[in-house]
Amino acid sequence: MIRRDLQSTLLRWAGVYPVVTLTGPRQSGKTTLCKAAFPDKPYISLEPLETRAFAREDPRGFLGQFPQGAILDEVHHAAGLLSYIQDRVDADPEPGRFVLTGSQHFGLTDAVSQTLAGRTAILHLLPPSLGELRRFSKAPGDLFSTLFAGAYPRIHDQGIPPERWLADYVATYVQRDVRQVLNVGDLLSFNTFLRLCAGSTGQELNLSRLGADAGISQPTAKAWLSVLESSFLCFRLGPWHRNQRKRLVKTPKLHFYDAGLVCHLLGIRTPQQLETHPLRGAIFESWVASEVMKLHLHQGLEAAACHYREVAGLEVDLVLQEPDRTRLVEIKSGQTLDGSWLKPVLAAKEVLEARSIGQAIDPFLVYGGDQQQVRSGVQVLPWDCLEALGPTTTVGR
């Protein structure tokens, strides 16, 4: 298995806090990362029912097996352990005693924040970024194969056909977890909703329309989407606004973290089919947005990301805000650079500079080609050179 970028951050915070908590989507590599980072620590999964029962019924006895701490995987299955872990680390706050992993949609982060506040760092592991994928010996080399395969590590580590693995993933993890959390009785409606969400990736979110198309109410659609978000399957990219001026359309965009999962849900079965698909541009936009998220989260940082749209029609796909500068990013899947693609970021740069927001404004264009250049003051980045959109600071959370 490849080395993950988050490992150094995980080790750094384990040298500061007595507990480190790692969350992220299922099958993103959390267990593998923890075992690689802490090879000498006992590893215990709370997935088996008998282990889970022991931890729930006799938490003191369970933790007593590990006086020096341990890796506790899927700890959300026995959330009551957190209070006893708190008691132990308060008595002996040696850094790095416990490493906890689990699924956010079961409320892990909320439970940890309430019980272990000030005692744990919380980190998020997504499927590998493009830079991490290149560490696999058989990583895809072209844009559409990369988007089609997605980034879940087992696909690339074991050479499993993406369409096969992703079908199993949806059936065994996504549907199971959602049914556990929401007690979904109508699985057909949920599957329809999930595919409609995939068809809305890279587009402004309209929950009323999604609910109506899936045959469910808007409150139900909102609840289902919240679980998809907390499962790290998708995320909402909010609108940019320096203030509450009504000229700006304040509607978030919906993005999926994994392009391969989107392709599977949309019935795209080959990279060639993706290349001519009408949603190719939206899928590519979501992929770039998710890569930016990975570049930040895998350094233990949050990405201050949003999108920009004026009522008058001016749009920029991605805005990255930092204390000293704002990066405007237009995203195009085409492989031949078109000068008209530069216009939105240049126009938005002019608007923001006129508003005197007090920051440097850096315009970027990410496209599906392979030529990196500066054109009309815009930094043009090929699809496989996104490092410039990563964090400019290495200070962790």
Host H or E run for residue 306: strand 305-309
Q: CB–CB of 119/83 below 8 Å?
A: no
pLDDT recorded at residue 396: 41
Q: Would you kindly state where each structural domain of the chain is located, as residue ranges?
A: 6-124, 130-233+257-280
**CA separation (Å) from 154 to 43, 142, 149, 166, 280?**
20, 19, 11, 10, 24
pLDDT recorded at residue 184: 67
Residues contacting 283, CB < 8 A, separation 6+: 147, 201, 202, 259, 262, 263, 274, 277, 333
Q: Is the predicted pLDDT of residue 57 greater than 50, yes or no?
A: yes
Q: CB–CB of 381/372 below 8 Å?
A: yes
Q: For residues 188 and 81, which has the higher predicted lDDT (pLDDT)?
A: 81
Of 182, 176, 159, 131, nearest to 26 by C-alpha is 176
* Residue 1: count of CB within 10 angstroms of its CB: 14
pLDDT recorded at residue 225: 93
pLDDT in tens, 175-192: 777 777 776 667 788 889
pLDDT recorded at residue 244: 46
> Can you tell me whether residue 290 is helix, strand or coil?
helix
Of 17, 113, 111, nearest to 69 by C-alpha is 17
In the predicted model, what is the mean pLDDT of the chain?
Answer: 92
What span, in angstroms and rounded, lies between the C-alpha atoms of 95 and 15?
5
Host H or E run for residue 384: none
Q: CB–CB of 330/366 below 8 Å?
A: yes
What span, in angstroms and rounded, lies between the C-alpha atoms of 198 and 262?
5
pLDDT in tens, 229-258: 988 999 999 998 765 454 455 789 999 999
Q: How far is CA 270 from the centre of its chain?
A: 24
What span, in angstroms and rounded, lies between the C-alpha atoms of 190 and 376?
47
Name residue 374's beta-bridge partners. Answer: 379
pLDDT in tens, 94-111: 999 999 998 766 678 888
Q: How far is CA 162 from the centre of its chain?
A: 19
Q: Is the predicted pLDDT of residue 113 greater than 90, yes or no?
A: no
Q: Write down the CATH number for the domain with range 6-124.
A: 3.40.50.300
* Residue 69: count of CB within 10 angstroms of its CB: 23
pLDDT recorded at residue 177: 74
pLDDT recorded at residue 357: 67
> Can you tell me whether residue 123 is helix, strand or coil?
strand
